[in-house]
Structure formats: structure tokens, C-alpha cells
A and B are shown apart, each in its own frame.
Chain A
Amino acid sequence: MKIFRSHILIGIDSISQMQKIRDIEKILKAEIKKNGLEEEIKVIESGTLGVFGFGVTMLVYPEGVYYANLDETKIKRIVEEHLLNGRIVEEYKIEPPEAKKDLTIKGKQERIVLNNVGLIDPRNINDYIARDGYKALEKALFEMKPQEVIEEIKKSNLRGRGGAGFPTGLKLSFTAPIEGEKFIVCNADEGEPGTFKDRLIMEGDPHKLIEAMILSGYAVGARKGYIYIRGEYKLSIEIMQNAIKQAKQYGLLGDNILESDFSYDIEIKKGAGAYVCGEETALIESVEGKRGNPRIKPPFPGVKGLWGKPTVVNNVETLSNIPSIIVNGADWYKQFGMEKSTGTKVYTILGHVNYPGLVEVPMGTTLREIIFTYGGGIKGDKEFKVALVGGAAGAFLGKDMLDVPMDFDHLGEYKAVLGSGAVLVMDEDVDILDILENLMEFFNHESCGQCSPCRIGNPTILRLIRKIKTNDNLKGNEWETIEEIAEAMKETSLCALGQSPILPISSALKYFGKELGR
């Protein structure tokens, strides 16, 4: 095997692609060649490096130096000074928080889901296999009965990362005993504003998701899986398609996987950008080619889902936990996180922090750690005002919540949710009314229109907020009316979308009633 003295990681994801990282990469490779360093330095395309807001970045090993805001001039200088002469170009480098830099499982972050992201080439199945990839599948197929796979997942206490936190093993166990054709569906329609973790998981480690879907299929006796990816995620789609093709070539998908009796295939379905299609029954309707409206539950998808057949729907992050659980066992998994919320959680940190991006930390990590340790604190020496946690359908968490362990149960006690894991951090200058208006514009735009509370409630609240904003002929009871509508929407809407506005509205009023003129 060839030994290189230095490795450069180029993080290819949707954002860096838009920033023309491919052009920078070409220049880098040309410069390396020009300087005769081809045999010494290897450029690796990986998934996201987890650092955002700094233009095109790359990570140079063994020093572990992040270079940011790269362009042609900077690349030329870095190649000459750093790669050729071994002098780090200090002025181009950035220093993300130590905790965030650590990409290994031993560091402060606990990387189960993201353990390969940013380290391997997502287009090369061998990279995944070299990191124990498809070991869980081999173990399950040849050493475990389907029921044992379910038991292990049950024992791990893994809970759905899509928002509701439903126990994954239990979900599998509802569908497993039903006879006949069944389906596995992966919800990769990540639509919660400020959330991009599933995209980066797919772009950085696609085979982990494929392996998890095969394992789920084996566990419940399904032979077909669908990955529903939102259409805007072009790179995710391309990388997943490539990974499926490779897995087929390796006999990991298709008939008689690894020469066992088990056959399984995966198909990708593209979403058309409707937020409500992240709701599992609307997603199923969309896969069937229909208008993405939610179905009435019960029956739940586990009993009657895609094409009327039992269907297990899980989120990308949830699924990506499964291979490690199977390889290392439930007991190993349970050492991370809290008693009832085990494992890790991937957060996307954004807003007024120094280092926006992706982190994976144990369940129960506090909001303070997420913002100040991993996010590098508030930008520009401002005060922390509030964070919107869980996406648009999440709640505002103020200073009093900074030290509450973040997991399903603790947040539940405060009528907050983990939701999508988006942490939108706001500094003292943010106008909460602006944020609420923006959120209501979002819900109003994304309502599917099927049920009247959501269809009419959203625009009515939006209109009232705009009246408040422009001080237009106010009666004084506007907030009371808004809360009453949002409460009725929570009680009577068909799906989670219409039930959502109450969370940000009531939590905003709790913290900022005075500011909002309540």
C-alpha cells in the first residue's frame, strides 16, 4: 500500500458545491502536480467537514489545519508554503472549537452516526467497508434471526430522530408479525427549516443508510425499500444512487444478499419540495404518486402504509444508528446518552454563533454546551437571547433552559421538543415578532390545505401578526386570539403541521410577552 506523507480532505456537500469547490479542487490538484508532490500528498473527497460559513474549506492532515475562504491565489500559496515547505499559512487558517474538530469517537463528540462523515470517500464503497461497513449486515444475516435484530434494537432504546421519538424497535415489532408484502421507507425529505443533518449524512456516508435499510428489511421481512429524498438534494440523490449501484455490484443488494436466502432492493423516490411530505403518511401518498396530503391515522403505516401494505417509515438519522447497534450490541449503545434517550443526537447549529455546522453529541447534552462549546459561542460579543430548537415546529428556549439536558423526556417536561435537531441561535438584536412572522409565513406556505383548522388558521394568525407589526387598528386582544386559534389548531388539525404553530407562539409569548406587546 502506498504511503502518503500528507492527506487533504475536501468536504463535498451541497453548499460547498455551490461555492464551486470542484474548481478549487482542480486548481489544488494541478498545483500539487506542478510541484511534483503527487506521490506524497493525497487529495480525498469526503463528505462535509462540519464547518460552515467560511466559504470553501479544506482540512490538511497530519497537522489538522482548516483552511477557509479558499480561492486560486490562496491555494497556490498554501501548496508552496505548507505542502512544499512545511510552513502553515497562519493567515488563511481558522480555529474551530477543539471539541468540534475532533472527528474520532474518542473525543468529546460521540460519533456513531457521523463516524465516517468527513473521513471517507462517500463514492467509494471500499472506504466504508474498511471502516467495518456491512459488518452488521453480515452478522445479522448469518448469526441472528430477524427477531433477534428487532430485540437488539428494542434493547438499545433507540428512538426515532424524526421528531416524535417513537421507540424504533417497537415500530419494527408491530410490522414484523404481519404476513405478506411489506415495505421499508426512509424519510429523507428533510424539510424543517435550518436542518441539514440528513443531507450531510447521505452525502458523507451513504452506505451506512443502505446497510440500515437492508437490516430493517431483514428484521421485518420486507424485500423492498424506498428512500424518499427531497428533490432539491441533488448531490444526496446522486451519491445515494451511486452507492446503491455499488452495493448491487458487491452483492449487498438484490437477490440472495451475500449468498443468503434474503433478497432486498432499494429505490429512490424524489420529493417535490413540500414540507408536509415529511409527515410519514403524506410521504407515503407522495411515493404512490398522489398529492401529498396526510392520511387519517389509525391505521398507522406499520399496519397499512405504502400501497396499503405494512410499512416501516424511519428517518435517515434513526436508521444510521442501526448498523453500530447490531455490530457492537445494545449494551454498548446504551452507554451513550441518557437512560430513556440513549445514544447520540446530531444537531445543526446555526444563527448567531461563531461556528455554525453539524455536531453529534450524546443525548442529554445541554443547550449551553451546544451553543458555547460546539458552536463557539455568540458571534461578535453579543448576548444570547433565545434559541429556536427543533425547527419551525420547535419551541423557543431561553436562558433558563440553557442547562436542561436535551433529550426527549427532559424537553417534553418543558413542552419543548428535540424535533429535527436544528438549533437556531439568536442574539440580543433579534426581533421576535419578525421571527414569528417568518415562521407563520412558512407554515402558511406549507399547509397542504386538507383540513380547515390548518388551512384557514395559519393565514389568519399570519394576518394578525402583521397587524400587530404595523400597529394596524389593534383591538388589544390580538395575541389572545392568536393563541386561541393556535390552540384550536393543535387540538383539531389532522397532522403535525397544523399542530405546530402553538409551540413557537406560546414559548415566544412566555419569554417575550412584554416585547411582543401582549
Chain B
Amino acid sequence: MNNMVKIKINNIEVEVEKGTMLLDAIKVAGFDVPTLCYHEDLEPTGGCGVCVVEMKGAPTLKRACCTPIDGDGIEINTFSEKVKKARRTVVELILSDHPDDCLTCIRNGNCELQSLAEELGVRENRFEKIYTEKEIDESSSSIIRDPLKCIKCQRCVQVCQEVQEVAAIDMIQRGFDTIMGLPFEMGLADTVCINCGQCISVCPVGAIYEKLNEKDVWDALSDPKKHVIVQEAPAVRVAIGEEFGMEPGTITAGKMHSALKRLGFDKVFDTNFSADLTIMEESTELIGITKHAISTGDMSKLPIITSCSPGWIKFMETFYPNLMNNVSTCKSPQQMFGALSKTYYADKEGIDPGNIVSVSVMPCTAKKYEAQRPEMRASGYQDVDFVLTTREFARMIKLAGIDFANLPDVIADSPMGEYTGAATIFGATGGVMEAALRTGYELISGETLPSVDLKMVRGMDGVKEADVEIPGLPFPLKVAIAHGLGNARKILDKVSKQIEKDRKSEYHFIEIMACPGGCVGGGGQPYGSSIAIRAKRACGLYNEDSTMLTHRKSHENEQIKQLYKEFLGEPNGEKAHHLLHTKYTRRDDI
């Protein structure tokens, strides 16, 4: 059956598949229409009314984002006088409900509404401002809401409800008073919000943004009494370049280290170091529990679920406390690093840990919350003092006038700077799983892994599953990977049911990352992110792993070996337990 239809866009004939959205068909014809509420990863809501076009014979203008082409002969005009006039009036109305404080707005120069006004050539505002002042919500340790800037596009609500299935926020009130809001006018901190910041990454304007720590870090850097050290998460190195005109996925690890040195950090380490450490701890935990299960026949401690993603941890504590004992007790790489920075490093260098300021650069907003959890003070101090997002880091580079694109490549400092390919892929969905399997395989079997590239756990499918044969295990290890918490729910519901029914699950090891795409898609990454862009960033990490690093398995990291030898003793040993493992808190009473 021929499913193609012939249509005319601005008098140019194109052939498209029946059911194609107008927006896509218009692109086929070589045109574009402005959009505002539309986001390629979300279902169109038709909220803004900006992408309207004229369809011959239709009683009103049509929204390009959500009008499917249902037959031959449709004729579309995307910039007729009628279209331009209606579109402009709509945008002017939207502007009348938005403050003109662009110059001091966090999204200045990076705002979709600003760009739209520019694109449409809006040079005056015929309508008087109509908004009333609204209170800014600063209750959360990760996310700030400025409702006055909100243009009610609903992207944040969609992402929170449909992608993450957290539903902390919703549209409340009606008509002109409609606003993205919270139950019972709570602050964000009091809700089920898991701080993932996916709302931020889709917000077209400055209505939601991260709690800023730039000033705290600048202050520390200029304080001569402080010894300021920094760690950077794997996903930062393949995204920060976007802020300086590079393609998503460009590997800038060396420039990143270089920039941090120039900003004045006393030591530039790397979270990838502690990612390798996490693998040592987590693989040991997995092997121990699996062996125990095999010898006793009690499978109830399996599956082990990863614990690197603080958004996922709060999600679990809130929605799946029944699985709390299945979640690995390992701290995230950020927090392992933090604890060591004020113990191991302080001891080694003879620095008073009270004078160390431990900073992290993260693709994540939930990391700001994680750093402030009361459990995260194993060193006797707050282990990580300040968390910067990738965006905050980029702003610091710009403020310092550093020419990022032309920086020389520099490696991270010793003793917490070396990393393997296994660590760098932590930033992509499936990466922690692959890293753990690379080490777990060799530790269990005592044999060398036949192929380091475990491609069955890679890629952007929401839920991935694999059976991994490991010599020495009586059964193949059944693993699953989910990214985006809506996808996680699918696996977790299944596991919950299985455990409730049979006291065991078909799965042995599960990786969960709160954000779609994994950390590369974190809520602290450069704006304008989409699944396609996240995939490119992930690709960058796999390239670094396969082409740029000497070692690709965590247990081959020399500085990690040194750490265990000099300081920690054995993986999962007493000292490791004290510094590198944590416990969780039920939060299902919210």
C-alpha cells in the first residue's frame, strides 16, 4: 500500500508519509516555522500557538507541531500575512506576560523566548504588562523556581509527570492565573521532587534553574587560607564544549583540567578516579552477595541496584522503599571522592581537612542535594562543600576570560586523578553496568574478558536487558539497565512483584540512572539538550574509553591500587565501609 501523499508547502511540492506532522513536512520542503512550547522529546501540547500556519480551506490556522497530514493535495503557507500577523500578536501577548529583565536573567543570550522575539522581528510591545509579581521558591537545595518568568509551556510538567513519573509539579489554577505549581503551595523541597533538574533542561526561559554556587566557589578560590580542590564528573567533559561552540560529544577532558587550573584550584582531580573506586567497591559487593546467594540458596538479596544517581536514590526512598535493601550501599563517585579528599588526601599532604574546600563539577542538580545529605559527612566535615553544574562551570570560565577552545590538554593531578575507560563511560546509560561487568567478570572468573566492549548494555533504549555468561557462576548473570525514572518504574515494578511473590527476582544486577541518557542528559548540562544530543555526548565518552585511555578496567587503575594499599586496605573492608558506603532513609510519608 502506498502511504505517501503529495502536498504543497509554500508552493513547493513534497512527498511525505501520511500522518507526518506538518512541522516535519515543512522541514522537508526546506522551510522552518518558529516554535515555543514544542520540544522534540515531548508530546506536543499545542500550548503556545506560535507555530501556526495557513492550510488552504481550513477555517482557522493550524498548529504545525500537532497537525498530522491526512491526505493528498494539502496546501500550506507558512508565512502568509495572516500567519505573520497572528503569530506576532500571540508572541506579543506572551511578552506582555513576561518581565523585560533579560539583561539580568540567567537565560540571557540562551533563552528561547528571546530568540523567538528576535526571529519574528518584534521591535515594540503594543500590550501593557499584565503579570503580577510572584514569589520565588528557593526552598530546594538544588532547584529555584521563578514563577514570574514561566510562560506556561508545560514542558517541565510533562517531563516530571510523563518522562520521570515523579509528578512533583503540575499546572495549577485556571485561566490567566494558571501556573506551574506544587501541591498545597508547598516549597519544592517539601514535595516528592527528586532534584533531577530535567525540568530545568527543558525550560525555554528562566523560570526554573539550579541553585547557584558560583559565588561560593569564587569566594573560596580567593581565600588564601583555603586549599581548594576540584573533581569533575565524566559527563561534563563531553558537554562543556557546547558552551564554547563545539559539537556535542567533543572530548574536552584535557581542556577542562586546564581551565580549572587557570581558575586557580589548588588541585585538579577527577571524579573518574572515584568512579573506578566505586566499581571496586560495587563489584566486590555484587560478588559477595551473589556468592552468598549461591551457597545458601537465599536469593532475596538480589538484585543489587546501582546507587550512583542521587535523583534515583531519592526516588527510591520515596516511591520504592521496599527495595531499599537491594540498593548497593556504595556512595556515588562524587561522595566517595569527597570523603577521601578530607581524609586520605589531607593525611597524605598534611593539610588540615578543615581548610580543604572540596568542589565538584557535575552534570547534575541532584548532586547539590546529595552533598548536603546528613549521611555525607564521613570525614567529620561536609565531604563535598560546593557542587557546580556544567553550566555554572562554563560561566566561570567565561567570566575569567579563558579561551576554552584553545586551551592545552592537561591531565588531572595525582593521587586522585588517574582514570580508566570504565570510569569515563559512567556518564552514559549502561556505563556503570559495563564498567562493573568488566571488573566483575575478571574477579569472579580469574580470566581475561574476551572483549572489553559490552555493546549489549549500550544505547538509548529506555530499558535494556542482557544475560551475561561468567565462567565460575552457575547461572548467567541477568542484568537490566533503565534510564529516566519512568523507564525505571517498569523494571522496579516487575522486581517488586517478583520479590513479593517468590522472595526472589529474575534479575541479579540493575543499573538505574535518573536522567534519560544517563548523566550526559543530566539537569545541569548545557541547555538545548535532547535525546539526540545526549546520544552524541554518550558517543564521546565511548570514544574516549576506546581510543584515548591506557586502561579500560577499573581494577587496572594504578592510583586506586595505591589507595587500597596505603589507606583503605581491602575493598568492602572496614575503613572502606566507613568512608565509602552509606545508608538510606524512607521518604514514602511525603
Tell me the A residues contacting B by CB distance below 8 Å. Answer: 274, 291, 296, 298, 444-453, 455-460, 463, 481, 484-485, 487-488, 490-494, 499
Contacts and interface: CB of A to CB of B under 8 A. Distances in A.
A458 B45 CA distance: 20
A451 B47 contact: yes
A459 to B, nearest CB: 5
Contacts of B93: 452-453, 456-457, 460, 485, 488
A276 to B, nearest CB: 9
B49 A449 contact: no
Contact of A452 (B70, B151, B174): B151
A459 B178 contact: no
B94 A456 contact: yes
B178 A455 contact: yes
B174 A274 contact: yes
B237 to A, nearest CB: 39
A459 B130 contact: yes
Contact of B175 (A296, A446, A491): A446
A505 to B, nearest CB: 14
B85 interface: yes
Interface of B: 44-49, 52, 60-61, 63, 66, 68, 70, 82, 85-87, 89-90, 93-94, 96-97, 126-128, 130, 151-152, 154, 170-171, 173-178
Contact of B176 (A455, A481, A485, A492): A455
A446 B82 CA distance: 27
B476 to A, nearest CB: 39
A491 B50 CA distance: 11
A456 B178 CA distance: 10
A459 B90 contact: no
Contacts of A491: 52, 60-61, 82, 86
A453 B174 contact: no
B52 A492 contact: yes
A451 B151 CA distance: 10
A488 B96 contact: no
B174 A492 contact: no
A451 B89 CA distance: 14
Contact of B178 (A274, A449, A457): A449
A214 B96 CA distance: 50
Q: Give 7 nearest A-B pairs by CB, closest first.
A: A449-B178, A488-B89, A492-B49, A447-B175, A456-B93, A491-B61, A491-B86
A452 B152 contact: yes
Is the contact region of chain B dominated by helix, strand, or loop, or is it mixed?
loop
Nearest to B95: A456
B48, B61, B82, B178 interface centre (most CB from chain A within 10 Å): B178
B177 A456 contact: no
Contacts of A490: 60
Given A445-B175, A449-B174, A298 B47 contact: no
A460 B94 CA distance: 11
Contacts of B60: 490-492, 499
B176 A444 contact: yes
B171 A492 contact: no
Contacts of A291: 170-171
B425 to A, nearest CB: 39
Contacts of A460: 93, 96, 127, 130
A451 B52 CA distance: 13
B178 A296 contact: no
A274 B48 CA distance: 22
A448 B44 CA distance: 17
Contacts of B45: 296, 450
Given A485-B93, A492-B49, A499-B60, A449 B175 contact: yes
Nearest to B131: A456
A446, A453, A481, A484 interface centre (most CB from chain B within 10 Å): A453
B175 A444 contact: yes
A441 to B, nearest CB: 11
11 contacts: A298-B70, A447-B174, A450-B152, A455-B175, A456-B96, A460-B93, A460-B127, A460-B130, A481-B126, A491-B86, A494-B46
B9 to A, nearest CB: 19
A449 B171 contact: yes
B154 to A, nearest CB: 8
B44 A296 contact: yes
A485 B92 CA distance: 10
A493 B175 contact: no
Contacts of B126: 481
A447, A451, A458 interface centre (most CB from chain B within 10 Å): A451
Contacts of B68: 298
B176 A447 contact: yes
A493 B90 CA distance: 10
A506 to B, nearest CB: 15
B49 A453 contact: yes
A282 to B, nearest CB: 11
Contacts of B178: 448-450, 455
A459 B126 CA distance: 15
A444 B170 CA distance: 21
B176 A459 contact: yes
Contacts of A298: 68, 70
Contacts of A492: 49, 52, 60-61, 63, 86-87, 90
Nearest to A453: B49
A22 B305 CA distance: 68
Nearest to A486: B89
Nearest to B176: A459
A296 B89 contact: no
A478 B97 CA distance: 19
A171 B516 CA distance: 41
Given A488-B85, A488-B89, A452 B127 contact: no
